[in-house]
Structure 1
Amino acid sequence: MDTSDQIVHLLRRAGFAAEPEDIERGIAQGLGQTVNRLVGFEQASEIDLIVNGLDVDEPQAPPRFLETLQIWWLHAMASTRRPLQEKMVLFWHGLFATSKDGVKDVRQMYLQNQNFRGNFNPDTGRIVNPDPGSPFPVGNFQQMLVYLTKDPAMLYWLDNRLNRRLNDEVGGNENYARELHELFSMGPEDVVAQVPNYTERDVRQAARALTGWTVNIRLDELNNFPRTFRFDAERHDPGPYEHLGHVGGDNADFIFRNLVTHRHPGQQQSAVGRFLGFRLFSFFGYENPEPEIVNALADVFDGANGEVPYEIRNMLRTIFMPGNPVSEAFYSAQAFRAHVKSPTEYLVGSLQLLRPSGLDWQDAHTKAFITRSLRDMGQTLFRPPSVNGWREGLGWMNASLAMARFNFANDLTSGPRKDQPLFDVHVFLERSDLQLASFDEIVDVTTLLLLQAPVADQDRQMLVNYMNAPINVIDEAERLEIKVRGLIHLIMCMSAYQLS
């Protein structure tokens, strides 16, 4: 993989698509500077869509707020100047999977989304852009667990708002304490040593420490729905606790510290470091990374080489920055085009590359088309199928889900309203300098735009044959428009386009 291929690969994985201007900029800057720009995304100003956000201060949520929220986030992903930030918000939404079906008010899901991008303060219930104390989306993981535990949507989703002192063995509700161990921090067993990470008693003792972590249900002019964390000392069990081999503590900070530092006897890396190394590399690189890759990322998480410990940004930099074994794996042939795009990645990336000029994010038909398409492809944002999140990889692909992708491609290029098509062929040809191009040139430029790589000879010939095949249209301009729409649809249906 040469430098240009590496940059294209990086742009696709650290964002949603490799747009031509970004490819040119990356090649001009070089791979190292491109990594620094993506990982240090705070240097890019946030778009007004995020800064101004949605209005959640009305007495009640407006109708169809879930659709509004989905469109808001998809618009943000498609428009962002901070692709890695939005990609990490998507990562945390999948890892800390929370559904609007389990919360008190759907607007709590918006607050959680802002929490994951670093713009929400759970102690005040207010959106602060940015919240200076927030560790999200790439900061200190131990502190992330604190913000996650205080998150109002999570307090409802896994019931910790109901957790109160019971006895010396368990808190009154252990749902959140269980998932904190099993899904959110270390997993049931070490991903390398394959030994259990914790016991049932560890979960029960953690539930004790998390008693009294609840939400303020008393509403006032600043809180028109439950959105503010409250620590209820009367419900809290002050310990001491026995957790992961340690005895002590009088609050949940003891649990969070034990989690991020926990190592099994004879193991150099922490269980949480390995868990996050495995999940991050699987998300950005390829599935089931080798133990040496996982351990190297866990070393970075642990600060074994002098890094500040528990920082997610350091792990991302290690994955993307050339010159270490982890990045060698990331830029390897094994990783290149080995990631099955999630429906969100497929949809957002397509919008970024094609830039459909007829797409109006506020239009009711457009909103319905986009949210319906995403649902049919198998991913409804803010409604994961369970606390386990979505199945990744080939879990995104079966006959019906693939057909939904092809239907989206058809509607994007040719509909869904025939009188007002979203995609303007003439704008596309002008932007690509293809007004006077031959069919062969149109095929080559369009495949390069959408796939960022030459296609196999037989696939290219198939597309050229399609362009040259006769159709019952006399007007040449109309023929060209029909053919270009069909060409893009065909490319978006190719197996190569489903991979990043």
Structure 2
Amino acid sequence: MTLNESDARHLLTRTGFAPSPQQLAPWVGLGAEAAVDRLIDAARAARFMHPPPDFTREPIRTPLGQLPDDDARKAARQQARRDTLDLAAWWLQEMRDTPAPLAERMVLFWHNHFATSVQKVQNPQGMFIQQQLFRTHALGSFAELLHGIARDPAMLIYLDGAANKAQAPNENFAREVMELFTLGEGQYREQDIKEAARAFSGWTVDRADWSARLRPRLHDGGGKTLLGRSAAFDTDGALDQMLAQPAAARFIAGKLWREFVSPVPEAAALDRVAARLRGSGWRIDAALRELLLSDAFWAPSARAALIKSPVELTVGTLRQFDVQLDSMLPIARAGAKLGQSLFVPPNVKGWPGYTDWIDSTTLLERKRFTERLFRGVEMGGMEKGAGGLHFDADAWLTQFGAHADREPDAATKTRIEMAVLAAPPVNPLPAGTVGLSMLRALSLDPAFQLK
């Protein structure tokens, strides 16, 4: 299969963010295998485009509970909110500028899979450290990532793993690691949760240096029966026993399918992805390659079958139109209004996605976002204090042989619509709509919300 413009746009949008015409051009004419391999290789080699916020390189801050008074704690909370917003803005800038958007999409995927909120963790530095774990293993071994997240201080705090002691077991992490992280509902019993909680007991977090430590005297080292096997399971043994279940590879493959292909997996194709995941030693890149080269991924029925997340909508719009914006803080705030605050997922299940992204309020906010963006182009700033917004509509349209001051012919208009929308527009463009007004109208079409 050789990629035409539509195929290349589908691949790049699904595995990253909507591409600009310049970003799309090098992919047209590639074979599907060569394109997928190029995507994955670039993601594995990805590095930061911009240095992370300064606070990420500072010593770990004093925990709230150790501060001397209410005023100090209030100031620390306010600083943490600013830091979290700065961290989100930095990550969005990485998404906006990266030449390997699949890398950022996979970090976002794992942030949602292993959902952890700074609201409970109360340490933006710890959230950055967790994100680096996701970056390290984003396309590597799921098994290594799973073992790493079980020892991650942010996760230990978020799911109360640091409060799980042999003398007083806490089952939160044990329940969620099976239901949400490895197996899915119906693949374990309540007794398995109790046994797994015993296996996970004994971990603590030293908030002074943000390290996780296993305290042997707090760990239950006795025999346990977990998922049909008896042994003196510890953390590693319990996780390996979960990964040994046939349901595990299929569960992770299903999550990847719903992220990149369609809301409902095809059973036979999903089995092949799951088999590749397990057979490769839990390599995410191998499973993703199998997925992206499946007939189901390229099928017409998979096109425009998913709804853009707020991050995909905001970052994709900037990339698609090559909009330059000095500060990404307005984009971070816009994402929050649309229902996706980075580092603050709604709960341990993460953002449910798909049609849950859209309701009467968020749909209105989505339209307001693009309306404000294009109005900001005309006015020189998206929000007060956020200068540097620039988009050259004439230059963008010239790539299609169109001009900002006159209406394109029917064929050119169709090419522009295909470049902006994943499906034909719901609302035909009014006659005489040209230039920036035409692009604004397309961005307000319901089809702009699809990918």
Would you say same fold, with TM above 0.5?
yes
The answer to whether the aligner puts 1:288 opposite 2:232 as a matched pair is no
TM normalised by structure 2 equals 0.87
Q: How many residues align?
A: 423
2:340 aligns to what SS in structure 1? coil
Does the aligned pair in 2 maintain the 1:260–1:310 contact within 8 Å? no
The answer to whether the aligner puts 1:7 opposite 2:8 as a matched pair is yes
Q: Residue 450 of structure 2 aligns with which residue?
A: 499
2:213 aligns to what SS in structure 1? strand
1:40 aligns to what SS in structure 2? helix
Q: Residue 360 of structure 1 aligns with which residue?
A: 326
Q: Percent identity?
A: 30
Q: Residue 337 of structure 1 aligns with which residue?
A: 304
Mark the runs of 5 or more structure 1 residues left unpaired by the alignment.
119-135, 190-196, 263-269, 322-326, 468-482
Letter of the 2:99 partner, please give it. Answer: R
Q: Residue 292 of structure 2 aligns with which residue?
A: 320
Q: Residue 173 of structure 2 aligns with which residue?
A: 176
* Root mean square deviation of aligned Cα: 2.4
Q: Distance in 2 between matches of 1:440 and 1:79?
A: 30
Q: Distance in 1 between matches of 2:354 and 2:55?
A: 32
Letter of the 2:331 partner, please give it. Answer: I
Structure 1 residue 320: Cα displacement: 1.2
Does the aligned pair in 2 maintain the 1:343–1:374 contact within 8 Å? yes
Structure 1 residue 47: Cα displacement: 3.3
Does the aligned pair in 2 maintain the 1:439–1:464 contact within 8 Å? no
Structure 1 residue 165: Cα displacement: 1.1
Distance 1:449 1:355, change over 3 A: same
1:116 aligns to what SS in structure 2? helix
Structure 1 residue 44: Cα displacement: 4.3
Higher helix share: 2
1:247 aligns to what SS in structure 2? strand
Letter of the 2:228 partner, please give it. Answer: G
Residues 387-398 of structure 1: pairs in structure 2 closer than 5 A: 387-398=348-359
2:408 to 400, 423, 440: 440
Distance 1:81 1:400, change over 3 A: same
Query: Which whole-Å deviations, capped at 9, do the CAs of 1:97-140 have from their partners, x for residues lacking one?
Result: 1111110422211111121111xxxxxxxxxxxxxxxxx11222
Structure 1 residue 156: Cα displacement: 0.6
Q: Which has the higher contact order (CA 8 A, sep 6+)?
A: 2
Q: Residue 241 of structure 1 aligns with which residue?
A: 224
TM normalised by structure 1 equals 0.79
Q: Residue 152 of structure 2 aligns with which residue?
A: 151
Structure 1 residue 424: Cα displacement: 4.0
Q: Distance in 1 between matches of 2:441 and 2:404?
A: 22
Q: Residue 123 of structure 1 aligns with which residue?
A: none
Query: Which whole-Å deviations, capped at 9, do the CAs of 1:32-63 have from their partners, x for residues lacking one?
Result: 11100111225645233257876341464746
Query: Which whole-Å deviations, capped at 9, do the CAs of 1:138-193 have from their partners, x for residues lacking one?
Result: 22222211111111110110010111112xxxx6211111111111111112xxxx
Q: Distance in 1 between matches of 2:60 and 2:202?
A: 27
Letter of the 1:497 partner, please give it. Answer: F
Q: Distance in 1 between matches of 2:274 and 2:380?
A: 54
Query: Which whole-Å deviations, capped at 9, do the CAs of 1:452-499 have from their partners, x for residues lacking one?
Result: 67x46x84xx425151xxxxxxxxxxxxxxx53332221112122111
Structure 1 residue 16: Cα displacement: 1.0
1:465 aligns to what SS in structure 2? coil
Distance 1:436 1:231, change over 3 A: closer
Distance 1:452 1:175, change over 3 A: closer
2:295 aligns to what SS in structure 1? helix
Letter of the 1:96 partner, please give it. Answer: F
Residues 340-351 of structure 1: pairs in structure 2 closer than 5 A: 340-351=307-318
Structure 1 residue 309: Cα displacement: 2.3
Letter of the 1:332 partner, please give it. Answer: A
Does the aligned pair in 2 maintain the 1:344–1:374 contact within 8 Å? yes
Q: Residue 97 of structure 1 aligns with which residue?
A: 115
2:393 to 428, 441, 451: 428
Query: Which whole-Å deviations, capped at 9, do the CAs of 1:83-102 have from their partners, x for residues lacking one?
Result: 11111111111111111111
Does the aligned pair in 1 maintain the 2:2–2:31 contact within 8 Å? no
Structure 1 residue 416: Cα displacement: 8.6
Distance 1:45 1:311, change over 3 A: closer
1:215 aligns to what SS in structure 2? strand
Q: Distance in 1 between matches of 2:274 and 2:233?
A: 28
